[in-house]
């Protein structure tokens, strides 16, 4: 894929910026909108993404994944998350780098980044997919309201050039995207996603609408839902925002 990187000094949300361009037919696959500062950065389900200006990687990428069925759109979150894991494994060693379902990137028990995928679907096909990525890179201090943040600099102990890091991550995404397109092998992709899933197959405490319980993550459902087997052996299925990890 040919990427066209557009730098934005200051924007509310790079995803919203990209969405507006797509809506007006002024963007194409491979366009990347790299924001030095976002003052209305977004996470999943209207969560905010707080990021110090000029310190972190905050960008949106436009894809047109017409080879993926809209019913299996969680595949996009999976291969983008794995691309970030590919990048971090090349930078940070001897640390536990995982994907916290559905779309957060964790180093040990601390959040280093996240992915926000927003899709526009017409009929039974994608019109476009906007991939928002936020990665804490050179930020050392965080607002107190963030419960468990971390950043790459705390593990590599030097500031990283954001432009170079963006280029490396786009290459990782490109490889994962091409592999997903050529092989169309969701079973292998899901296995690799599970291999890198935070707390997979480990007994931990969770909280749902009925309260706190112990269980282990046993898999991912057909539509990206989290499957947990509780300590009584009962299988439970959760969609986004229906389950809380207790750290």
Domains of the chain and any CATH numbers: 4-195 (3.30.930.10), 203-245 (2.30.30.100)
pLDDT more than 90, % of the chain:
84
Q: 186 pLDDT band (50/70/90 cuts)?
A: confident
DSSP state of 152: T
Flag whether pLDDT at 204 surpasses 60.
yes
What pLDDT does residue 146 have?
86
- In this structure, the dihedral spanned by the alpha carbons of residues 143, 148, 152 and 158, taken in order and rounded to 10 degrees, is 60
Flag whether pLDDT at 87 surpasses 90.
yes
DSSP state of 46: G
The distance of Cα 119 from the centroid of its chain, to the nearest Å, equals: 14
Q: 41 pLDDT band (50/70/90 cuts)?
A: low
CA dihedral sign, ordered 72, 77, 78, 83 = positive
Q: Output the DSSP codes for 54-117.
A: TTSEEEEEEE--TTS-GGGTHHHHHHHHHHHHHHHHHH--SS-EEEETTTEEEETTEEEEEEEE
How far is Cα 197 from Cα 139, in angstroms, rounded to an integer?
25
pTM, two decimals, is 0.93
Q: 183 pLDDT band (50/70/90 cuts)?
A: confident
What pLDDT does residue 100 have?
97
């Amino acid at each position: 894929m040919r990427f066209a990187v557009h730098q934005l000094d200051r924007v509310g949300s790079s995803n919203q910026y990209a969405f507006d361009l797509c809506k007006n037919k002024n963007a194409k696959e491979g366009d990347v909108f790299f924001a030095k500062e976002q003052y209305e950065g977004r996470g999943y389900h209207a969560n905010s993404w707080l990021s110090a200006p000029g310190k972190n990687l905050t960008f949106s990428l436009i894809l047109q994944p017409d080879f993926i069925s809209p019913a299996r759109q969680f595949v996009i979150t999976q291969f983008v998350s794995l691309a970030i894991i590919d990048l971090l494994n090349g930078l940070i060693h001897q640390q536990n780098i995982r994907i916290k379902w559905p779309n957060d990137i964790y180093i040990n028990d601390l959040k280093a980044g996240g992915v926000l995928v927003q899709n526009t679907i017409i009929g039974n096909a994608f019109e476009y997919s906007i991939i928002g990525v936020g990665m804490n890179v050179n930020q050392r201090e965080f607002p107190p309201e963030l419960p468990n943040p971390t950043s790459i600099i705390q593990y590599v102990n030097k500031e990283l050039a954001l432009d170079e890091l963006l280029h490396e991550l786009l290459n990782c995404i490109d490889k994962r995207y091409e592999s997903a397109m050529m092989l169309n092998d969701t079973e292998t992709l899901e296995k690799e996603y599970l291999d890198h899933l935070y707390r997979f197959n480990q007994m931990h405490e969770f909280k749902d609408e009925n309260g706190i319980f112990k269980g282990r993550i046993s898999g991912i459902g057909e539509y990206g839902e989290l499957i947990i087997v509780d300590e009584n052996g009962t299988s439970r299925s959760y969609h986004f925002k229906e389950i809380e990890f207790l750290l």
